[in-house]
């Protein structure tokens, strides 16, 4: 009887209501009937279409070797970060293999070591001899509290790329340049009238987080020590910060604020507004794709050192491949990780497509790295980066690294204000204020770290 | 009481059935999160899985956290900018567009309201380009207008972040608030205005003694809306400053700091504590405003 009443009532419903009900049922079906994966496959998340294209051709053969197929899924880096962290936090399934960029991996290391969602692969790397086969500094960003959680994808040494067409047309020889002071002195004539420069020696600004870190890593001893405590407020870092700011302020400034990835920044590169730029290996392919107009006009050289005999390179960016600790297919994932990240074919194609050199040192003798690159006036670009790779500075995986760099950037902004206010434009004069600001920055980062009840830093500090 | 009228009786059963969906949604999406956030506020977490009880530590830490105070100060400055620059401008525009002597009022209304048709994220991305050094439209225009006196390197997003945010929000919201004021102005009783004119009231006197009292309810609503919206500012600085608070946290707002603490650092406890402070602040301001309105109505 009640059913009959219900049916009669349903007949009286309007068409609009029926459509809404149908949409609701459809939405639920779509939501819960979404993408299904092959239950036996090793699932891998990648954020770069180029990486996916590199790995795809070898998957069939690799699948036969490993005995389990690989289901590769391309996602944005933000999506990987959200899903990875949600999975790690709540114990929900993630991919078995996760390709992860340095900017997002630190979050995974914030909690206690036993809560890190990646598999600790330190012993596997040691047992299989991979620790020796891979460029040592490349493990840094993926190492937390002495344990390694990912296989490095790259080295990313940084060189200085300069407008060789302008430099050589002016008869300037940079081959003898060893330090930043040498470099600025050498290219000074190209800047034109000091009162109204036409161009600047270096595309750098103290607000650019990544480039500030590049220089701190090049000249300093790292922002965190082996115990992952901050080492920001040192005389050395104060000196570096004072020098960076002195490049950007005052009537004799040598640097200009030229964005790395914006259209305006690219146009300034084409116009020759900046003479030189920081060039990690991955930047080369971006320039080739986005500003081909400067092709054949650029040359690379090692970064000038801060003082004679100092380090001639730095490092920027980085990617790793990690295995989810809760994966059901850890062994298969490990086999895939080794195949993809230590394969000579992938290393070679990665260089051809992206200009990125492999961290696997045994593959560095591949002649492809000696081939002349027309974009850089025929220089053997790959070999130049490889020559610098062993000297890349070590980096910390501290989850507070980004915050530390942000605080140092803020200190630089305050220092620049101080310089303009007091008309102190030389590094020597700026150093005491730089030290004071860095001491404040270090106190702040320590305060943040001490709040973390899980990291073991609470109550610590220097 | 008869059985039918009891809480479990047939007439009440129907009421419960009709109430059930709302009650369920409220319990799951309002009551539970509220209770859970209060619990989280006395814990320190690394995601929802790893937590430890810390008592009032989150709140005491917050009281000594310079970044929180910076975020709060920025949020208050932005709110004051919204209230004391944006709303008077919106009212002035509404008064101008309400004038029957103005031609093409519809076009102007559309022009002033049109920024509202754009998404905030899109506006933020555009603003980031417009306020760039050298190539940015703002510096280029000012450079051209001042005959080269304005520096192309003027650091909007480096040293004047809050001013930039307020300028962008003026562009976004003046037209939006203007519509409310315009609607209120069009409902002002014309006979009162005519009567005051006959009584010899000038423009200012009419505005003060007739127009303002007439539009006060709408004005209060707009103030409340602007205040709540400003205190919850997030998307604009988040996109404009690429997820950071900008140099020296000049653009960091309370909600951004809440987001950073909860979703970037993973400390949901501290984020919850920040959320509760913000909620208390909003409730307090709303109570003060209601008190002022009621007192004036008396």
- Segment B33-49, tens digit of pLDDT: 999 999 999 988 877 67
Chain B (156-175) residues lying within 8 Å, Cβ to Cβ, of chain A: 158-159
What digits encode the pLDDT tens for the residues B111-169?
A: 888 888 888 888 899 999 999 888 899 999 999 999 989 988 899 998 899 999 999 99
- B57-76: average pLDDT: 94
Comparing CB atoms, the residue among B46, B159, B267 nearest residue A115 is B46
pLDDT at position A3: 61
What digits encode the pLDDT tens for the residues A248-273?
A: 999 989 999 999 988 889 999 999 99
Domain borders along chain A are 42-152+317-383, 157-313+394-451
Is the pLDDT at A61 greater than 90, yes or no? no
Flag if B66 and A112 touch (Cβ within 8 Å): no
- A119-147: average pLDDT: 94
What digits encode the pLDDT tens for the residues A188-215?
A: 999 987 777 789 999 999 999 999 999 9
Flag if B266 and A414 touch (Cβ within 8 Å): no
pLDDT at position A75: 95
Residue B146 CA to residue B192 CA, distance in Å, equals: 47
- Residues of chain B with Cβ-Cβ distance to A90 below 8 Å are 47-49
Helices A235-248, A427-451: inter-axial angle, 10-degree rounding: 120
Q: How confident is the model at residue A459 (pLDDT cuts 50, 70, 90)?
A: very low
Q: Does residue A267 belong to the interface with chain B, where contact is any CB pair within 8 Å?
A: yes
Half-sphere exposure of B17 (CA within 13 A, CB side): 7
Q: How confident is the model at residue A458 (pLDDT cuts 50, 70, 90)?
A: very low
- The DSSP letter of residue A189 is G
- Pure H helices in A343-394: 344-354, 381-388
Structural tokens at position A213: 């870190």
Fold of the domain built from segment(s) A42-152+317-383: D-Maltodextrin-Binding Protein; domain 2 (3.40.190)
Helices B268-297, B32-40: inter-axial angle, 10-degree rounding: 120
- Residues of chain B with Cβ-Cβ distance to A451 below 8 Å are 44, 61, 267, 270
Structural tokens at position B222: 């707009």
The phi and psi torsions of B190 (rounded to 5 degrees) equal: -65, -30
pLDDT at position A455: 61
pTM: 0.84
Residue B271 CA to residue B254 CA, distance in Å, equals: 10
The phi and psi torsions of B25 (rounded to 5 degrees) equal: -60, -45
Residue A126 contacts by C-beta under 8 Å, 6 or more apart in sequence?
none
Chain A (143-182) residues lying within 8 Å, Cβ to Cβ, of chain B: none
Residue B45 CA to residue A453 CA, distance in Å, equals: 9
Q: How confident is the model at residue A90 (pLDDT cuts 50, 70, 90)?
A: confident
Residue A251 CA to residue A197 CA, distance in Å, equals: 10
pLDDT at position A7: 66
pLDDT at position A33: 64
Q: Which of B223, B225, B232, B230 is nearest to B278 (CA)?
A: B232
Is the pLDDT at B5 greater than 70, yes or no? no
Q: How confident is the model at residue A88 (pLDDT cuts 50, 70, 90)?
A: confident
What digits encode the pLDDT tens for the residues B245-290?
A: 889 999 999 999 999 888 877 788 999 999 999 999 999 988 988 8
Is the pLDDT at A9 greater than 70, yes or no? no
Least confidently predicted of A326-335, B64-73, B93-102: B93-102
Residue B10 CA to residue B3 CA, distance in Å, equals: 8
Structural tokens at position A60: 């069939």
Fold of the domain built from segment(s) A157-313+394-451: D-Maltodextrin-Binding Protein; domain 2 (3.40.190)
Is the pLDDT at A87 greater than 50, yes or no? yes
Residue A41 contacts by C-beta under 8 Å, 6 or more apart in sequence?
A68, A69, A70, A71
- Tell me how far the alpha carbon of residue A13 is from its chain's centroid: 58
All CATH 1.10.3720.10 domain ranges of chain B, comma separated, are: 61-297
Q: Which residue has the higher pLDDT, A376 or A22?
A: A376
Task: Output the CA torsion A116→A102→A306→A301 (10° steps).
Answer: 140
Is the pLDDT at A422 greater than 90, yes or no? yes
Dihedral angle sign, alpha carbons of residues A111, A112, A117, A119: positive
Is the pLDDT at B101 greater than 60, yes or no? yes
- A416-431: average pLDDT: 96
Mean pLDDT of chain A: 91
pLDDT at position B1: 45
- Residues of chain A with Cβ-Cβ distance to B44 below 8 Å are 451-454
Is the pLDDT at A461 greater than 50, yes or no? no
- Residues of chain A with Cβ-Cβ distance to B249 below 8 Å are 410
- Residues of chain B with Cβ-Cβ distance to A454 below 8 Å are 44, 46, 50, 52
Q: How confident is the model at residue A456 (pLDDT cuts 50, 70, 90)?
A: low
CA distance A205 to chain B (A): 11
Reported CATH class of domain B61-297: mainly alpha
Flag if A264 and B136 touch (Cβ within 8 Å): yes
SS3 helix, strand, coil % of chain A, rounded to 5? 55, 15, 35
């Amino acid at each position: 009887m009640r059913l009959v009443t219900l049916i009669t009532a349903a007949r009286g419903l309007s068409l609009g209501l029926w459509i809404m009900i149908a949409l609701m049922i459809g939405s639920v079906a779509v939501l819960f009937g979404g993408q299904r994966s092959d239950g036996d496959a090793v699932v891998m998340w990648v954020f770069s279409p180029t990486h996916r294209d590199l790995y795809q051709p070898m998957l069939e053969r690799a699948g036969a070797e490993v005995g389990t197929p690989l289901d590769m899924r391309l996602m944005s880096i933000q999506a990987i970060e959200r899903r990875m962290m949600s999975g790690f936090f709540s114990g929900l399934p993630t991919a078995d293999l996760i390709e992860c960029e340095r900017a997002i991996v630190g979050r995974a290391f914030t909690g206690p070591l036993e809560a890190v969602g990646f598999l600790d692969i330190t012993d596997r790397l040691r047992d299989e001899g991979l620790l020796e086969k891979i460029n040592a500094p490349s493990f840094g960003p993926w190492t937390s509290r002495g344990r390694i959680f990912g296989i490095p994808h790259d080295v990313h040494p940084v060189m200085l790329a300069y407008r060789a067409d302008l430099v050589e047309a002016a008869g300037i020889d940079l081959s003898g340049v060893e330090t930043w002071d040498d470099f600025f002195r050498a290219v000074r004539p190209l800047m034109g009238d000091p009162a109204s420069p036409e161009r600047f020696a270096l595309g750098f600004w103290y607000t650019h987080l990544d480039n500030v870190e590049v220089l701190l890593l090049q000249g300093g001893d790292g922002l965190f020590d082996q115990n992952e405590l901050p080492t920001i407020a040192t005389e050395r870092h104060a000196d570096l910060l004072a020098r960076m700011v002195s490049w950007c302020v005052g009537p004799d400034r040598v640097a200009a604020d030229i964005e790395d990835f914006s259209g305006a920044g690219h146009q300034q590169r084409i116009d020759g507004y900046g003479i030189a730029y920081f060039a990690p290996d991955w930047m080369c392919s971006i320039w080739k794709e986005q500003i081909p107009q400067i092709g054949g006009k650029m040359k690379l050289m090692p970064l000038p050192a801060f003082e004679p005999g100092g380090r001639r390179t730095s490092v920027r960016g980085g990617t790793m491949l990690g295995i989810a600790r809760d994966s059901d297919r850890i062994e298969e994932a490990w086999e895939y990780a080794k195949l993809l990240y230590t394969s000579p074919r992938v290393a070679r194609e990665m260089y051809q497509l992206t200009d990125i050199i492999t961290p696997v040192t045994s593959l560095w003798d591949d002649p492809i790295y000696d081939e002349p690159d027309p974009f850089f006036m025929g220089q053997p670009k790959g070999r130049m980066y490889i020559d610098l790779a062993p000297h890349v500075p070590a980096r910390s995986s501290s989850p507070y690294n980004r915050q530390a760099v942000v605080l140092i950037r803020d200190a630089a902004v305050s220092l620049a204000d101080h310089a303009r206010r007091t008309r102190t434009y030389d590094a020597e004069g700026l150093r005491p204020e730089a030290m004071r600001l860095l001491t404040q920055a270090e106190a702040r980062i320590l305060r943040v770290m001490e709040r973390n009840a899980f990291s073991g830093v609470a109550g610590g500090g220097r | 009481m008869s059985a039918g009228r009891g809480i479990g009786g047939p007439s009440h059963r129907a009421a419960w059935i009709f109430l059930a969906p709302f009650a369920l949604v409220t319990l799951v999406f309002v009551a539970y999160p509220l209770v859970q956030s209060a619990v989280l506020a006395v814990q320190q977490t690394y995601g929802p899985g790893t937590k430890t009880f810390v008592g009032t530590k989150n709140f005491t830490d917050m009281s000594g956290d310079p970044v929180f105070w910076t975020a709060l100060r920025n949020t208050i400055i932005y709110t004051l900018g919204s209230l004391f620059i944006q709303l008077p401008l919106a009212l002035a525009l509404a008064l101008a567009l309400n004038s029957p002597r103005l031609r093409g009022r519809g076009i102007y209304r559309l022009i002033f309201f049109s920024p509202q048709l754009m998404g905030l994220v899109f506006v933020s991305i555009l603003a980031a380009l417009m306020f760039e050094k050298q190539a940015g439209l703002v510096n280029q225009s000012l450079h051209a207008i001042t005959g080269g006196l304005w520096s192309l390197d003027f650091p909007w997003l480096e040293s004047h972040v809050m001013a930039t945010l307020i300028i962008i929000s003026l562009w976004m919201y003046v037209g939006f608030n203007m519509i409310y004021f315009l609607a209120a102005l069009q409902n002002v009783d014309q006979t009162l205005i005519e009567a005051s004119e006959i009584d010899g009231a000038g423009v200012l006197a009419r505005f003060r003694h007739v127009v303002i009292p007439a539009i006060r309810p709408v004005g209060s609503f707009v103030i409340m809306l602007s205040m709540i919206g400003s205190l919850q500012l997030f998307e604009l600085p988040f996109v404009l400053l690429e997820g950071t608070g900008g140099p020296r946290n000049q653009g960091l707002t309370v909600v951004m700091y809440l987001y950073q603490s909860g979703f970037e650092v993973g400390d949901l406890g501290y984020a919850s504590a920040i959320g509760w402070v913000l909620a208390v602040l909003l409730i307090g301001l709303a109570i003060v405003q209601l008190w002022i309105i009621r007192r004036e109505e008396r």
